[in-house]
Chain A
Amino acid sequence: MKEKPDVLQGTLALMVLKTLDVLGPQHGWGIARRIEQISGDLLVVNQGTLYPLLLKLEHEGSIASEWGASENNRRARFYRLTAAGRRHLQAETREWEQTAAIIARFFEVKAEDQA
C-alpha cells in the first residue's frame, strides 16, 4: 500500500505537466509514450502508475480532464494543463533548475580548485 518514493513521484508529476505544456491536451497513453520517448529506456515505469498520479494532479487542480475523440476517432480521456497547473509548472521548473545548478556546481569543483 506504500506510495512510491517522493523523488520519483515528484519528477514524474513534473514530466506529466511539462508534456501537457509542450504537446497540449493528451490522453493517458499519449503522455506515457511521450515520457518514454524522451527519457529513452532510462525510465522504466509501469505505465499504469500514471493513472493514480493523473487523478492526484487533477484533484490538486493542476490539470483537468474530459472525454473526447482521439485522432483515430476513438473515445479517450484527454488531460490538459490548467492556468494553475501552468503556474505550478513554472515554479517547479525554476526550483528544479536551481537545484540542478547547485548540484552541478558541486560536481564541477575539483580537489585542486580548493587549494
Chain B
Amino acid sequence: MAELELESRPSSDATIVVVRGEIDMATAPQVRDVLNQLVDAGAARIVLDCRGLDFLDSSGIGVLIAVSKRLGDDGKLRIEAPQAHVRKVLELTGVIDHVEIAP
C-alpha cells in the first residue's frame, strides 16, 4: 500500500509543500485535497518539494495539471528537485512545459 506524507509551510513568497512517498491512484486524492485547500485559501505560488517523492504516475500527473490550471496565469506551480524517474515522467508527458521544474 503506497504511503504519502504531505507537509505544508508558508515561506516569504510561496507555500512550500514537502512530499514524501508515492503519488499513485490511491494517494492522488490526498494530494488533490491538500493543494486545492491551499489554492482556496489564496495561495498563488505553490512549490512542491519532491526530493522525497519516489513515484509519480498518471493519477499524480492529473492532479498537478489540474492544480496548475487552477492557479491560472497569475499563479505558478513549481516542482523542486524531482528524482530522475519522476522527472522522466514529467518530460515524457509534456507536463514539463507547463509547470516550472527546478532541478
Q: Do A and B come from one complex?
A: no
User: Which residues of B are interface residues toward A (Cβ below 8 A)?
Assistant: none
